[in-house]
Amino acid sequence: MKTKLVYVLTSTPEQNYIEQALLSVFTARYHNPDASIVLITDDRTNELLKGKRAEILDYISEKIVVPLPEEMSPMLRSRQLKTSVRNLIEGDFLFIDCDTLITRPLNEIDNFPFEMGAVLESHLPIGLFINSLYEKVEKNARLLGWSIQNEKNYFSSGVIYVKDTLNNRLFYKKWNHFWNEGIKKGVMIDQPSFAKTNIESGYPVQLLDDRWNCVMYTHPLFDRKAYILHFCSFRNMSYIFAEKFLEKVRQQGIKNNSFVQYSILHPHYSYLPFENAIYRYKPKDYIRMAKEIRQTAKLLKENLDFDDYIPSSGIYRYAGKCFKNKCYFWGSLLITCYKLYRVKFDKKFKYVENTCAAE
């Protein structure tokens, strides 16, 4: 694979972003053993990459350390680096956020014909955004001086394919400029300025297939076919990116930890299946679901707990008691039967294809 895989990492000693990045980089290397993986970090974060936290260096091909002003916060450092990536490295690359897991080889990217590509925010055109999402984007757009009413698409900046061209280098210079202008107006995130740059540059950003940035809080029906699962730590439904799991990674690393390795290499077992997917299940799928829940519960009993896997109220409370008493079959059967009831017999259940879509 000729296209580089690029990560940007900034963190404080207390934060778990190094562990998040480690999980993603490990899966990237596992599924793409010959890939060139580049880690771009700032000088302060680089000082933290020692001891167990240095394990990430075992899976990368190149580390680029960029000195940044002492007073700049980790969040601003991250955005400063992210909006500058194209002008920090040579060659075509796929930028990947750290709260992701790679699920398979990514060599198809070498055949992409366009110069730049990304997936739509929440896998939806703007016209289908739920009100809360629309209003959030509209507010930031207005502050940055562009109108959401005039646009069809709003791209996620969590995964971006970028060829090494002059146009893209100019694009990134503009992006960094617009992002810095946005800071003065209270827009700290980089996605609104990415959109403005796309508009001002004549719309060079092309649509990537949704599977390249599968945003999990939308409850995507294609999650098991995705190349990159994006758990988005601010709306996470998997025990993998929860604090307890990340703390385990911080203390023990991945290399000699079979539980952590199994979890991140079988990420679909780390969260309960989405009800919109269960709605389409056939009998064999319910059997598979029960087996997966039973297997995951057994692993969690032996290595962690169930707090970040199932809720603690309602029917799940009784399933949790079964798991704690090692009655994995009955606990998994209880959850499976409840999910079947929810999607097939509960009149309050309403099928939605995407949780961020307007009704």
Q: What is the CATH number of the domain that holds 51?
A: 3.90.550.10
- Note the pLDDT of residue 183: 96
- Note the pLDDT of residue 302: 95
At 102-118, the pLDDT tens digits run 999 999 999 999 999 99
Q: What is the pTM of this model?
A: 0.96
For residue 160, give the H/E element and its range: strand 155-162
Give the β-pairing of 100-102 and 62-66: unpaired
In percent, how much of the chain has pLDDT > 70?
99
Q: How many domains does the chain have?
A: 2
191 plus 278 within the same structural domain:
no
What is the domain range of residue 325?
273-359
- Note the pLDDT of residue 39: 98
Question: Which residues, given as ranges, of the chain have pLDDT below 70?
Answer: none
Residue 13 lies inside a defined structural domain of this protein:
yes
Strands (E), 197-272: 205-207, 214-215, 228-230
At 161-189, the pLDDT tens digits run 999 999 999 999 999 999 999 999 999 99
In percent, how much of the chain has pLDDT > 90?
97
Residue 254 lies inside a defined structural domain of this protein:
no
Residue 27 lies inside a defined structural domain of this protein:
yes
Half-sphere exposure (Cβ direction) of 198: Cα atoms closer than 13 Å: 26
CA distances for 31 relative to 40, 96, 190, 278, 307, angstroms? 21, 15, 29, 28, 29
Domain closes at, from 160, 195, 212? 212
Instruction: Give the separation between CA 83 and CA 76, rounded to whole angstroms.
Output: 11
186 plus 277 within the same structural domain:
no
281 plus 193 within the same structural domain:
no
- Note the pLDDT of residue 328: 97
Domain closes at, from 212, 240, 261? 212
- Note the pLDDT of residue 235: 79
